[in-house]
Structure 1
Amino acid sequence: MAVEWTLTIEGRNEFGETCRKEVRIDKSWESLFDGDIGLSIGDSKRIMAALQNAVVNHEAETYALLRRVCPECHTFRPRQGLHDTPDPNRLRHR
């Protein structure tokens, strides 16, 4: 391996949770001698796919967490367990 690039993206939500995603790109001596300088379109697609995955997952987790906050008292509503009976008023918090 001649060159190794590590790209890191880090996101933090308002609850202080951090999400970090790293993408590593390796360049071999042979590819450098063949004129493969810089990032290829394939490298760019890998980077964008990893970054999009990290951003969407973190935003979806944050959204799900924010939906649990009661708009009136700003506390977390209880979660319904997997084995509990369905409650039609589960989004209401008193």
Structure 2
Amino acid sequence: MSMTRAGATPASEHDNIRQIEHLSSELHAMARRFCRSQDDADALAAETISRGKIVLDRSSDTGEMNLQLFKIMREIFLAKYPSEHSWGVKDI
């Protein structure tokens, strides 16, 4: 049996990818809350899915995977769209 990253087998990795793709509509809805434009939301969701396929392991249940994907999305958003999350009090 061949092994891939962190002891995951190819079959479990395939299941993981399928599970992430199953959450695609939820990820797009979350991305739309972050982004003002649909194009930005689509790009954010697509990058989240791509990174999720690389970094998440199969041991995660759906709820935990959803949380991990949200964290990935938040990190991407904060890195790429800094002006859209500049909340707080401005200097007086």
Could you tell me the TM-score, scaled by structure 1's length? 0.33
Structure of higher RCO (CA pairs closer than 8 Å, 6+ residues apart): 2
Specify which structure has the higher proportion of helix: 2
Larger Rg: 1
> Larger strand proportion, structure 1 or 2?
1
TM normalised by structure 2 equals 0.33
